[in-house]
Structure 1
Amino acid sequence: MLLRRTFLILICFIGCCHLFSQELPPVITYAPDAYGADNQNWSISQSSDKYIYVANNRGLLEFNGENWKLHSSPNETIMRSVLVVDDLIYTGCFMEFGYWKTSKQGLLEYTSLSRDLELIEDEQFWKIVELDGFVLFQSLDRIYIYNVQAKTFRILGTDKKITKMYKVDDSIYFQRQYDGIYRIINGEEELVFTDAELIDDIVINIYQRDNDLLFQTQNNGFYSYTNNVIKPWTIVLGGKGQLSDYSVYHSIRIANGSFVLGTISAGLIVLDRDGKFQFSINQEQGLNNNTVLTAFEDITNNIWLGLD
């Protein structure tokens, strides 16, 4: 069965209408001079009223479907992450994280959550996830677990780089470089995967697939983990080689089960739920840059990309 999917391609995101077949989706591009900020967009989220929020080098971009508005970073630094939870817009920057909320006057107002914390020098907050009343902010050095109701923090530190943090159904995982994959349980970390395939490469994302886990690595494609056995999930890209020939920077799984992969220097690759190659889009098909920093599926199943 063919599923209709809308892709939004912007110079910093992707948008267009597409029937999953050999037909490529059209590309809609928003240039930096159209949205009034820098070209690099690191993270994308959406509110229940369908406003799009983008973490940009210059701050928080807000798009109501017609007009863009830039809210400068609270400390005038690069914004790396954004996540909308209910009526709050959480953001992470260089040496700063907190949330934005719409005032009675209809203006976004910022509240710092990190102001009274002793941050590590030069910390940047690359990922934000939410689970069961907790919001987690990940830097390369620590994970800050914020209890929204109690307004308290628990901090997980490390002497090794935290490369990524992942939300997989009702679990939170993270990777320590050259160490393994950890799971956070009741605010405590537990080392759960130490396979060489997951230590020697950066794990970009983790997905639940039936009773298996799928690990998306940066340089070696997917691995499936079944009954304590890890093995490659071989992806052939229809005459474009194997997925392991590409360096993947970001990936998401969209509502119909397909995988959207953003690469370094090779544009966008889309696979169906079984790993079958669907199509790719690069500069020749309308992207203004072949490095995809982030991807996001909105409420109406459009796909937005943030490019380098």
Structure 2
Amino acid sequence: MLPVPQPVSAQNIPFVPPSFNYGIKDYGAGNQNWAVAQGQNGVIYIGNNYGLLSFDAVNWNLHPLPNNLAVKSILVNHSSGTERIYVGSFEEFGYFERDETNKLCYHSLKGLVKDYTFRNDEIWTIHQLNDKLFFQSFSSYFVYNEKTQSIDSYKPYPAPLYFFNVGGTLYAQFIDENFYKYDGRDFKLLLTRERMNDDFIVSALPFQGKLLLVTSKSGIYSFDSRTSQLSHFPTAIDSKLNTAIVNRTALLPDSVLIIGTLNEGLFALNARGEELWHLNRSNGLNN
């Protein structure tokens, strides 16, 4: 008798979303990409070592900065009436805007900075609060007022590590320090580092009327800012998060949480903390 092949159960095959890897030969720029954002017309913008990349699903284009600086942060903004792509770089920040021929042209804002000496400032995050934009480096931050076309510079101690914009409220994790909330003029203490298992927060997201705080290696927490209640948010990948080193997150419209890590690729969790899929070098990622 010949053995009869048995059908493979689909339940035994873990779901992984389809992915496509673009190499430097495809997009014609540097091999390091630092930030990504999407414009209103669907165009993808990527911060690359050689400048700003744009991709419309067919064509790649490179838009250089002065001195061919790397783009480390991106924010797409429409408050001026036209689409602006704000970018941050090494001792430089400004925005791209399309001219009458639809070409992206760069406008530097550095010249508006007064009474400040740049010392290796790299702009790593950009956030908008009403008519103000916050450009944050690891030693300073700059507040650009779109209405008055002016910039205020700040060099706090301790220095900022990450800024987060959650529903129009700005939060900040400071280097080797605590978690703060911006009150319109200054940052006020919200959570001490000790309450976060002596770890730092890499992401703050809206979740069921509370803040979902994602740490580098101590898991995820739920925080009620009204009562200051902090509780651990259990997930199916808690043990993996201890060593994966979380670096970035994104919350999708269907409440799926995407977690990007340095050591374990990408995880996707549902609102109950259950793992939906895991994408890494063994099943789709090049790096």
> Could you say which TM-score interval applies, normalised by the shorter chain?
0.7 to 0.9
Pick from 70, 75, 84: which aligns with 1:78? 70
Structure 1 residue 231, shift from structure 2 partner: 2.5
Pick from 234, 254, 268: which aligns with 1:270? 268
Q: Which residue of 2 aligns with 1:140?
A: 138
Pick from 21, 24, 31: which aligns with 1:32? 24
Q: Which residue of 1 aligns with 2:228?
A: 228
Structure 1 residue 199, shift from structure 2 partner: 7.7
> Once structures 1 and 2 are overlaid, which stretch shifts more, 222-231 or 52-61?
222-231
Q: Name the SS of the counterpart of 2:154 in structure 1.
A: strand
Q: Is the 8 A contact 1:180 1:199 kept in 2?
A: no
Question: Is there any run of 5+ residues in structure 2 with no aligned partner, and where?
Answer: 1-12
Cα RMSD (Å) = 1.8
Matched, 1:103 2:93: no
Question: Is there any run of 5+ residues in structure 1 with no aligned partner, and where?
Answer: 1-20, 290-308
Distance (whole Å) between structure 2 residues aligned to residue 199 and residue 55 of structure 1? 33
Greater percentage in strand: 1
Structure 1 residue 106, shift from structure 2 partner: 1.9
Q: TM-score, normalised by structure 2?
A: 0.88
Q: Which residue of 1 aligns with 2:187?
A: 189
Structure 1 residue 197, shift from structure 2 partner: 3.5
Distance (whole Å) between structure 2 residues aligned to residue 133 and residue 199 of structure 1? 36
Matched, 1:114 2:110: yes
Distance (whole Å) between structure 2 residues aligned to residue 74 and residue 273 of structure 1? 43
Distance (whole Å) between structure 1 residues aligned to residue 150 and residue 272 of structure 2? 42
Distance (whole Å) between structure 2 residues aligned to residue 194 and residue 229 of structure 1? 13
Distance (whole Å) between structure 1 residues aligned to residue 64 and residue 29 of structure 2? 10
Structure 1 residue 113, shift from structure 2 partner: 0.6
Q: Name the SS of the counterpart of 1:34 in structure 2.
A: helix
Q: Is the 8 A contact 2:256 2:270 kept in 1?
A: yes
Q: Deviations over 1:244-300 (max 9, x none)?
A: 3421111111111111011112111111122111110111111001xxxxxxxxxxx
Structure number with greater CO (CA < 8 Å, separation at least 6) is 1
Distance (whole Å) between structure 2 residues aligned to residue 241 and residue 139 of structure 1? 31
Q: Is the 8 A contact 1:248 1:262 kept in 2?
A: yes
Structure 1 residue 38, shift from structure 2 partner: 1.4
Q: Name the SS of the counterpart of 1:75 in structure 2.
A: helix
Aligned positions, number: 267
Structure 1 residue 163, shift from structure 2 partner: 1.0
Structure 1 residue 55, shift from structure 2 partner: 0.5
Alignment of 1:170-189 (within 5 A): 170-189=168-187
Q: TM-score, normalised by structure 1?
A: 0.82
Pick from 275, 279, 282: which aligns with 1:281? 279
Q: Name the SS of the counterpart of 1:136 in structure 2.
A: strand
Structure 1 residue 22, shift from structure 2 partner: 3.9
Q: Deviations over 1:171-214 (max 9, x none)?
A: 01111123211222223222222251448222111122223222
Distance (whole Å) between structure 1 residues aligned to residue 48 and residue 28 of structure 2? 10
Q: Name the SS of the counterpart of 2:25 in structure 1.
A: helix
Q: Is the 8 A contact 2:15 2:276 kept in 1?
A: no
